[in-house]
Amino acid sequence: MKIPALIMAGGKGTRMGLPVEKPLVPFLGKPLINWVVNAVKSAKNISGMYIVTSPNVPETERKCAKEGLRILKTDGKSYHDDLKQAMLKGGFQGPVLIMPSDVPALTGDVLDRIVAAYEKNGKDALAVFVPIEKRQELGLSISSTDEYKGVWYAVSGVNIINAKRILFEGKIETGAIVTDEVEVLLNVNTLKDLQIAERIMREKRN
């Protein structure tokens, strides 16, 4: 199975407290979004990539356009509204892999495993969750949580959803991967997260 991927890059990123747009925040020498783009490019189970932008990120949009990346422009009202708008604009009819632009440790291998898990799962959606205590243990922020089988987890932002169900207002059947792998654990939401993630990545390289 090969599926398209959306990199969500339209958020304001106000929690970073930096003058630069969040996708362009430097991480170990290159913008956050470049790490995610490179991960998607190296994945075997992804058929194409789109950067989802909004009026909040004009510099990010210009950079991605200059690099020849395909862009889906949204209104920037909210994450979920932008996702629906991007799905409709892209004309997607099947499963789509979705990820934020702030998970710099992602790799193509991890994305391929997520796609394979979705195919095996057979449900409309697949979410990737991280144990809350693992992020707390590392000193990372908890920005978004969700419940799965009676347990609350931190949301990694990486998931797959069948585009045909994106406008369905009820609860869709969702499977999940629960992991504390660094590749999805390092979701950068604050300046402190950025510093911790850079330290962890340096240690991993060494």
N- to C-terminal Cα distance for the chain?
A: 34
Q: What is the pLDDT of residues 83-120, one digit of tens each?
A: 999 999 999 989 999 999 999 999 999 999 999 999 99
Q: What is the DSSP string of 118-134?
A: HHHH-SSEEEEEEEHHH
- Residue 175's CATH number: 3.90.550.10
Q: What is the pLDDT of residues 18-65, one digit of tens each?
A: 889 999 999 999 999 999 999 999 999 999 999 999 999 999 999 999
Residues 112 and 42 sit within 8 Å (Cβ to Cβ): no
Domain extent for 49 = 3-205
Count of domains forming the chain? 1
pTM reported for the whole predicted model: 0.94
Nearest to 89 by CA among 64, 61, 70: 70
Predicted local confidence at residue 165, as pLDDT = 80
Predicted local confidence at residue 42, as pLDDT = 97
Predicted local confidence at residue 169, as pLDDT = 56
Average pLDDT over residues 175-183: 94
